[in-house]
Amino acid sequence: MAKPKEIAERPERLTGGHRLCAGCGAPIAVRQIMSVCPGPAVVSVATGCLEVSTTIYPYSAWRDSMIHSAFENAAATISGVETAYRSLHKQGKIREDMYFVAFGGDGGTYDIGLQALSGAVERGHNFVYVCYDNGAYMNTGFQRSSATPCGAWTTTSPVGKEAAGKQQNRKDLAQILVAHDIPYVATASPHNFKDMMNKAEKAFTTPGPAFLNVISPCPRGWRTPSDQSVALAKEAVQSCYWPLYEVEYGKYKINYKPREGKKTPVADWMKKQGRFAHLFKPGNEQLLEDIQDYIDRKWEELLKKEECL
């Protein structure tokens, strides 16, 4: 990868002036990822926060060719464009190398876009899919998704006598993509820009489908100050709620392991977010313990996968 100074001097491919919220993780991820794209790109963006806030008519914040896809079919859209490109390239009508990337939130990726994503990677299209995971359907008013962590408040996992927020653990989407046996799968966080950009560069230059799952703090949905987003992303990694790892051709590599005694309790991270405030009232001690047990179990499973391969 080029030196950070050189990358910083490259022209922005997502311009300033978009309407995404202050502190939103999505534009940070987009800027970091697109900064290492090796050439001209076609971008498919699923309906969601990123799309509606960067393409308010008659303006666009995208300098690359951008296609607004429906909520559920960003992967299908980009796979069609990639197929057309291969045909035109074969005919000699297009000579330059081009890159293909899709962006979708967790609602449009974990849930209603999963079928299109699964089909596109199974067919082996040469593209990068990036999920900016903020843990709910934030654009439409904070409804739960299958990426919403256990215990979180959303408008469709309310807090009351019957339940203390969402009752299920989040879907492990990265592992679902690993099960598709594609060349490259990775998780990333905007606080570690070198790791993010290294992974993006690998994703763009690896032949075939690649998938990046990026934690994307949402100040409005997480009920957090906008200036704390990057710090919260870092703490999510430190607690192993969001481990950083990559899987290249089936081989696991964990990119960050907290030093002994430095792995922080997930409750410390949760206390800083209003969506978990109810969990720290009397009566929810067991749920907090269960959440920590789940995080610990998933981390141990990941360590074993790295050791085995």
pLDDT in tens, 157-183: 999 999 999 999 999 999 999 999 999
pLDDT tens per residue across span 96-126: 999 999 999 999 999 999 999 999 999 999 9
Are 74 and 104 in contact by the 8 Å Cβ rule? The answer is yes
Percentage, residues of the chain above pLDDT 70? 100
Whole-angstrom Cα distance, residue 186 to residue 203? Answer: 9
Q: Three-state DSSP class for 191?
A: coil
Give residue limits of the domains in the chain. Answer: 4-308
Mean pLDDT of the 192-217 span: 98
Whole-angstrom Cα distance, residue 70 to residue 305? Answer: 36
Give the per-residue pLDDT at 273.
Answer: 98
What confidence category does residue 1 fall into, taking pLDDT thresholds of 50, 70 and 90?
A: confident
Type of residue found at 299: W
Type of residue found at 73: N
Whether residue 309 has pLDDT greater than 70: no
**Tokens at residue 230, please?**
């990057």
Are 49 and 106 in contact by the 8 Å Cβ rule? The answer is no
Give how far Cα 138 sits from Cα of 14, 174, 269, 282, Å. 21, 21, 20, 28
**Which of 206, 217, 209 lies closest to 133 in space, CA to CA?**
217
Whether residue 279 has pLDDT greater than 90: yes
pLDDT tens per residue across span 10-60: 999 999 999 999 999 999 999 999 999 999 999 999 999 999 999 999 999
pTM comes to: 0.97
CATH architecture of 4-308: 3-Layer(aba) Sandwich (3.40)
Q: Which residue has the tokens 């409005």?
A: 220
DSSP code for 199:
H
Mean pLDDT of the 209-232 span: 98
